[in-house]
A and B are shown apart, each in its own frame.
Chain A
């Protein structure tokens, strides 16, 4: 029952996002054919507009778009008329997904590790060192970190390819650039969560049982400290998605992010809509999965309780 309710809310969310995007998009000044207006005769432009329903009133355009959307037809790109938006997404998704997932895994794994190490060495050298790294990670934005990584690892030391996509070596620098900030945020978050747990009474109970330090930290410390971090994966995911837009552009990676950015500059309405909807579906699904797994991991939250 709870799951059904959640799925309905998800569909509603996606519909609201799609509608808002549609409206906002129509209010961006400009025209997909602005650059063609000087070259092509007025009748031709008229015909092209009609092809994309752009001559209809906005309300009609909206209804037509939504009708296609429910059949998963996202229409054709205006820029490259032969390509459907679905195929653009299908082309770009693998690279974007690989980049995003690698960054997610690295940010989580290293971030948690750094946070735990810092907390276990509270107010000692390792703590200060970890938090120094974290503060750099948080304060240096990826569009500055990326060129720096390229300059040293690719240009000066020639260890890794400068840009583009293909082998796994190509993915190292963009992954690092993308993961840095979320990694740092997670590290700080995990550190404070871990420190808080360390002061809890149940840790004293476990200590009084005579457990070894390792068992104490893993079974009683980390397991509880990690719970609040899981709820943090949602916002993390959002920042990774927006991060890919920039990183894909800098490293010339053929992902969806690049099409998304280009489509906005070109007022390529179907691509803007299609990619936005794609990203929001992804996001809503992620939040759903996190929510469900949270309920599985934390015994105090029951799936049947229907929310609160």
Chain B
């Protein structure tokens, strides 16, 4: 039986800027089960980072504001916690790995200290023992000579090594959920695979769940169990990985799948970007956010926000094409399938 670990319900986040209010996240709901890897994909600006940063309480306020919603970790709403109580959760029950390992470590602090700091903050461990735990973490993320590495500064590490250190910091207190915001985007392809493998292995060892943000559907296919596709601040489709690749039900997802180059194909398909610009988050359309770029858009799409249509258990898509009244549904889905 799967155990529900983290549940995000009706999350709404916006930022006040000079140009007006950016509605970065609009009514986002999803969940993560124990030991599961959930991938969040979507193009730049779709609200992926804002979503996970809200879970961590890392949204800068002002200009940001969480306007609505709840983030339930084992039933407890993190958004209702005081700053102080949230500090106890951050880094111990939930932790985060960021995109850019080159700038995410403090340049004037020994990397070992940066790991030990995480340990001493949340566990009743001090001095030498904390140091030994930190050295053990350095070893566990696959860095040799951990005791010597403890004493070194970030500039003495390569990008891949720094990301390993970031993972060591994040996992030092054995969190229940690890939020990884494009952890491998800044790395070389070969290093990317190593770091992803490392995260997967440590996840199994420590029984941690992972929310993995990525642009790379190849990474999704290899690592994740379930996928949430974000567009214009909303989750437009969620499904188990196989289901999403084989039976996508949203035109934006079709576009995403179309834009992955097929490595096995004889004639290498070029990467096809989805045409058009993302929606204006200052005044998002009342209907489907994808409508202006959607080949299949109908009158209803512009008029009314599509609800989440349940395709089958665990597979939802916010697209009017899944309404039984939609005439062209069958042909269109077939059209989508040919890209997968």
Q: Are A and B physically bound partners?
A: yes
Interface flag for A200 (CB, 8 Å): yes
Task: Determine which residue in A201, A204, A205, A212 has the highest number of CB atoms from chain B within 10 A of its CB, and name it.
Answer: A205
Residue A298, interface by CB 8 Å: yes
Query: Is A98 close to B, CB under 8 A?
Result: no
Which one of B31-39, B94-102, B140-148 is at the A interface? Answer: B94-102
A259 to B121, CA, bound (A): 58
Q: Report if B245 contacts A (CB, 8 A).
A: no
Closest beta carbon of chain A to B164's beta carbon, Å: 14
Which of B104-112, B200-208, B225-233 lies at the interface?
B104-112
Residues of chain B whose beta carbon lies under 8 Å from any beta carbon of chain A: 56, 58, 86-92, 95-96, 98, 100, 103-109, 114, 117-118, 121-122, 153, 155, 166, 169-170
Contact (Cβ within 8 A) B106 A205:
yes
The reply to whether B169 and A205 form a contact with Cβ atoms under 8 Å apart is yes
CB–CB B58/A207 < 8 A:
yes
Question: Which residue from B91, B108, B122 sits with its C-beta under 8 Å from A223?
Answer: B108
Alpha-carbon distance between A209 and B113 when the two chains are bound, in angstroms: 13
**In the assembly, what is the distance between CA of A298 and CA of B98, in Å?**
24
Bound complex: CA A40 to CA B58 (Å)? 84
- The reply to whether B107 and A299 contact each other, CB–CB distance below 8 Å, is yes
A-B contact pairs, 22 of them (CB 8 A): A200-B103, A201-B100, A202-B103, A202-B104, A202-B105, A205-B105, A205-B106, A205-B166, A205-B169, A208-B96, A209-B95, A209-B118, A210-B87, A212-B87, A215-B121, A224-B107, A298-B108, A299-B108, A299-B153, A300-B107, A300-B153, A300-B155
A109 within 8 A of B: no
Whose C-beta in chain B lies nearest to the C-beta of A298?
A: B108
Contacts of B155 in A (CB 8 A): 299-300
Name the CB-closest residue of A to B87: A210
Complexed CA–CA distance, A202 and B153 (Å): 13
Q: Given contacts A206-B106, A211-B117, A224-B106, are A201 and B58 in contact (CB under 8 A)?
A: no
Please pick, from A204, A211, A219, A220, the residue contacting B98 in the complex, using a CB distance under 8 A: A204
Check A204–B104 contact: CB distance below 8 A: yes
- In this complex, the member of A209, A223, A224 whose beta carbon has the largest number of chain B beta carbons within 10 angstroms is A209
Q: Is the CB of B108 within 8 A of A210?
A: no
Contact, CB under 8 Å: A209 / B58: no
Q: Report how far A220 CA is from B153 CA in the complex, Å.
A: 14
Q: CA A215 – CA B122 in complex, angstroms?
A: 14
| A209→B104 contact, CB < 8 A | no
B95: A residues at CB distance < 8 A: 208-209
Check if B98 sits within 8 Å of A201, measured CB to CB. yes
Q: Is the CB of B121 within 8 A of A209?
A: yes
Instruction: Please measure, in the bound complex, the distance between the C-alpha atom of A202 and the C-alpha atom of B169, giving whole angstroms.
Output: 12
Interface 0/1 of A215-246, CB less than 8 Å to B: 10001100110010000000000000000000
Distance in angstroms from B88 CB to nearest chain A CB is: 6
| Min CB gap A228→B, angstroms | 12
Chain B, residue nearest A209 (CB): B91
Inside 8 A of B100's CB, which chain A residues have their CB? 201
A219 CB contacts on chain B under 8 angstroms: 106, 109, 117
Q: A183 CB to closest chain B CB, in angstroms?
A: 25
Chain B proximity of A296: nearest CB distance (Å): 11
Q: Which of A261-308 contact B (CB under 8 A)?
A: 297-300
- B197 CB, min distance to chain A CBs, angstroms: 23
Residue of B nearest to A301 (CB): B155
- Whether B87 contacts A220 by the Cβ 8 Å rule is no
Interface contact B121-A205, CB-CB below 8 Å: no
- Do B108 and A227 have beta carbons less than 8 Å apart? yes
A120 → chain B closest CB, angstroms? 14
A211–B87 CA distance with the chains assembled, in angstroms: 7
Residues of B within 8 A of A202 (CB): 103-107
